[in-house]
Amino acid sequence: MRGVYVSAVLLLNCAAGDILRGVDVPLYAFAGGQATLSCSYDLRATRLYSLKWYHNGTEFYRYVPTERNHPTYIKPTLKFSVTEQFRNEQRVTLSLTRLSVSASGQYRCEVIAEHPSFRTEASTAKMIVLREPLKAPVLVGAREIYEPTELIKIGCQTRQPFLQEHLPTLKWYLNDNKVDPERVTPYSKSLLPGYLGLSLHVPGEEIAAAGGSMQAECRLTLGPHTLSTYKTLRVRVRMISYVDNYYSLGVVLRGNVMAVMLTSAAVTIATHC
Ligand SMILES: *[C@@H]1O[C@H](CO)[C@@H](O)[C@H](O)[C@H]1NC(C)=O
């Protein structure tokens, strides 16, 4: 399916004689952080006259191959620092660092073909720079040990508020497997505005059956960014109560020949008694 789609796009590009293949811009970045921007082009049909990057319509990077001494020019700005990370005959990749919130907006890459066509093509993508760095979610209500008869309930919530249009997702995993939807319940309504919560419900029996412990992970995802918080869920296994039986039986049967056998199988002995 994917192969079909890709070849269709290539055909369109060839038919149109396009030189710009597209831009790669992360939808989300964080103030003070970094973002990698890529612009891909194809020079099979023609030669490149210039490749420029604009932010909200203001040019900040220019590559003009015919300018032999200074083919690239970066215009300093207070919104971010720009370094060229990679450049070849197909792609220019920039690294934007020290991002400020005002670095949010539209990023446009424009390519112009050489004389005689001077064909101009551009592609634009949005980036949103969030003020606060992303924080790992917090787990609430978890205990160190549970009984196998209990329904274990744990909450996972964000440590910071999010705007309605930039909501992250929360997901629960048990031993790296995504938890079924019927085992999770959102509870954002009971939190402060902009905070998200997702509770997990697992029968203690299930964890007992898996050997007494499972790794629970709450994963927060926003665009390409992912942060997780982990907790090992432990359930008292029934073995412990067999040992209790063993000791009590041991007391009752002390002195009896059968007591010797108790060390191997307390439960079996119990039925014999
Ligand atoms: C660019 O536009 C976005 C919204 O479109 C705005 O948030 C941002 O502050 C603008 N930045 C500059 C420097 O114009």
Q: What is the structure's pLDDT at 116?
A: 82
Tokens representing residue 54 in the block: 């604009």
- pTM to 2 decimal places: 0.65
Residue of 75, 104, 108 best suited for mutating to test ligand 1, as the one with most atoms within 8 Å of CB: 104
Q: Which atom of ligand 1 is nearest to the CA of 55?
A: 1
Return the closest-CA partner of residue 109 out of 47, 63, 66.
Answer: 63
Going from the Cα of 185 to the center of ligand 1, the distance in angstroms, rounded, reads 37
Tokens representing residue 1 in the block: 């399916």
Q: What is the structure's pLDDT at 117?
A: 82
Torsion of CA 51, 85, 73, 131, to 10 degrees: 100
Pick the range with the lowest mean pLDDT from 159-163, 214-218, 231-235, 265-269: 265-269
| Residue-level length of the chain | 273
Torsion of CA 59, 65, 67, 71, to 10 degrees: 60
- Flag whether pLDDT at 271 surpasses 90: no
- Residues 190-235: pLDDT tens digits? 999 999 999 999 999 999 999 999 999 999 999 888 999 999 999 9
Domains of the chain listed by start with CATH number: 11-130 (2.60.40.10), 138-234 (2.60.40.10)
Rounded alpha-carbon distances, angstroms, from residue 9 to 1, 126, 215, 244: 13, 22, 43, 70
Q: What is the structure's pLDDT at 45?
A: 67
Is 102 a pocket residue for ligand 1 (Cβ < 6 Å)? yes
Q: What is the structure's pLDDT at 256?
A: 38
DSSP bridge pairs for 113: 48
- Let me know: does 123 contact 75? Beta carbons within 8 Å: no
Query: Ligand 1: which residue has its CA nearest to atom 13?
Result: 102
| C-alpha–C-alpha distance, residues 121 and 101, integer Å | 28
Tokens representing residue 255 in the block: 């002195």
- Flag whether pLDDT at 127 surpasses 80: yes
Is 100 a pocket residue for ligand 1 (Cβ < 6 Å)? no
Residue of 82, 99, 102 best suited for mutating to test ligand 1, as the one with most atoms within 8 Å of CB: 102
Considering the chain, what is the average pLDDT of its residues? 83
